[in-house]
Amino acid sequence: MKFLQLNDGITFVALFFQMIKFVIQRSEIGAGTRGSSLGPDAIKIAAVTAGSSLFLKYESELLSNQNDCLFQPTATENALRIGIMEKVWQEHADKIHAISSEKDVPVVISGDHASAGATIAGLKMAHPNKRLGVVWIDAHADLHSPYTSPSGNIHGMPLCASIGENNVEMQSNEPLIVTKEAWSHLKNVGGISPKISPDDLVFVSVRDTEKEEEHLMEKYNIKNYSVAETRELGMKKVGIEIQNKLSDCDIIYVSFDVDSMDPDIVSYGTGTPVKDGITPAEAKDLINELLQSQKIVCFELVEVNPLLDNKGNKMAEVALEVLESAVNTLEKR
Ligand SMILES: [Mn+2]
């Protein structure tokens, strides 16, 4: 039950149990290319231009960020700015925890995809005894750790943090002690690790992986619906299959990286574009199919980077369409 405060001060009791709340995360310190911190604002500008009331209709919580640390050099080359990322994740996870504990549904709009590790932490903090499934719609598997990452960019590591995996079998780096300690803290945000089982993780549209990540995908037999397979089955069937696969999960989080989409169809307005992705229509169809389920406790959209857009603000405009359609589906459940 919700008590809503109207502008004129009248309070009334709303007869519904869940409310959608936007969470705006402008952190971009997990990315290797600059500009994704502007993604959430680019989406809001797209909403103004389109005359969309999306951001009027729902409350927004704006998280603080540590992006000024980008002016400083970082010593932890295998996990860049990981000490500062701890602060970012803690605040983000606490916010998701608070919203999800109220049984509200956070719809998170983030800069870089590192944020998803904190979203998963917050959901697990809110629901420690529930089995959490994750649908990861992305060109990338984000299954690196400081022990394997070639770039040190933490936006490639959120899933290893969530499954509590270092992947030392494929170790190529020797992280500093300070890096190892901070990594351990990231894995343990909320005091629960691992937060998800690799059995409860499904990929869609992943098509740019490194051997270290492929090792984990094979080791844990993590299903990836390739773009070709989604075309063969159709997104409705893919959505149903994913729900069946995650049928033992109590709650499900859907994480949508806009680079899952084809940059030649949408635009290059994202940090690490990869050709031959899904179309915006396919993304909407899949997300709508998944979000009809009452098990969905959170939806996140990440990695819009207007500084890289070759078509004006196109990526943010398409992201807005996906977001509006996702929120509509959540409303109708
Ligand atoms: Mn990606």
The CATH number given to whatever domain includes residue 230 is 3.40.800.10
Residue type, 112: D
Question: What is the token pair recorded at 276?
Answer: 């031959």
Distance from residue 138's CA to the centre of ligand 1 (Å): 5
Distance from residue 247's CA to the centre of ligand 1 (Å): 26
Examine residue 1 and state whether it is found in any structural domain, yes or no: no
Distance from residue 14's CA to the centre of ligand 1 (Å): 38
Residue 3: what pLDDT?
53
Strand ranges inside the chain, DSSP E: 2-5, 11-14, 20-25, 60-62, 105-110, 132-137, 201-204, 223-225, 251-257, 296-302
Whole-angstrom Cα distance, residue 318 to residue 27? 21
pLDDT one digit per residue (tens) for the chain, 333 residues? 455 555 555 555 554 557 999 999 999 999 999 999 999 999 999 999 999 999 999 999 999 999 999 999 999 999 999 999 999 999 999 999 999 999 999 999 999 999 999 999 999 999 999 999 999 999 999 999 999 999 999 999 999 999 999 999 999 999 999 999 999 999 999 999 999 999 999 999 999 999 999 999 999 999 999 999 999 999 999 999 999 999 999 999 999 999 999 999 999 999 999 999 999 999 999 999 999 999 999 999 999 999 999 999 999 999 999 999 999 999 999
Would you put residue 215 in left (φ > 0), alpha (ψ -120 to 50) or beta? alpha
* DSSP letter for each residue of 270-292: SSS--SS-B-HHHHHHHHHHHHT
Whole-angstrom Cα distance, residue 249 to residue 133? 6
Examine residue 6 and state whether it is found in any structural domain, yes or no: no
Distance from residue 32's CA to the centre of ligand 1 (Å): 12
Would you put residue 257 in left (φ > 0), alpha (ψ -120 to 50) or beta? beta
Examine residue 12 and state whether it is found in any structural domain, yes or no: no
Residue 1: what pLDDT?
43
Distance from residue 182's CA to the centre of ligand 1 (Å): 23
Distance from residue 90's CA to the centre of ligand 1 (Å): 22
Examine residue 3 and state whether it is found in any structural domain, yes or no: no
Among residues 150, 146, 206, 148, which one has the least CA distance to residue 181? Answer: 146
* DSSP letter for each residue of 124-181: HHHSTTSPEEEEEESSS-----TTT-SS--GGG-HHHHHHT---GGG------HHHHH
Distance from residue 251's CA to the centre of ligand 1 (Å): 23
Distance from residue 260's CA to the centre of ligand 1 (Å): 7
Distance from residue 203's CA to the centre of ligand 1 (Å): 11
Q: Compute CA 188 distance to the chain's CA centroid, rounded to the nearest angstrom.
A: 18
Residue 129: what pLDDT?
98
Residue 18: what pLDDT?
75
**Quick one: how many helices (H) and strands (E) in the chain?**
11, 10
Distance from residue 7's CA to the centre of ligand 1 (Å): 40
Residue 93: what pLDDT?
98
- Quick one: angle between helices 115-126 and 82-101, nearest 10? 40
Examine residue 269 and state whether it is found in any structural domain, yes or no: yes
Distance from residue 15's CA to the centre of ligand 1 (Å): 39
Distance from residue 9's CA to the centre of ligand 1 (Å): 44
In terms of residue numbers, what domain contains 172?
18-332
Examine residue 2 and state whether it is found in any structural domain, yes or no: no
Question: What is the token pair recorded at 226?
Answer: 């390739």
The secondary structure of residue 224, as a DSSP letter, is: E
Examine residue 13 and state whether it is found in any structural domain, yes or no: no
Whole-angstrom Cα distance, residue 330 to residue 333? 6
Number of compact structural domains in the chain: 1
Distance from residue 135's CA to the centre of ligand 1 (Å): 13
Distance from residue 140's CA to the centre of ligand 1 (Å): 5
pTM over 0.85: yes
Distance from residue 270's CA to the centre of ligand 1 (Å): 9
Among residues 187, 257, 213, 203, which one has the least CA distance to residue 36? Answer: 257
Distance from residue 23's CA to the centre of ligand 1 (Å): 20
Distance from residue 259's CA to the centre of ligand 1 (Å): 5
Phi/psi for 263 (5° steps) reads -65, -25
Examine residue 228 and state whether it is found in any structural domain, yes or no: yes
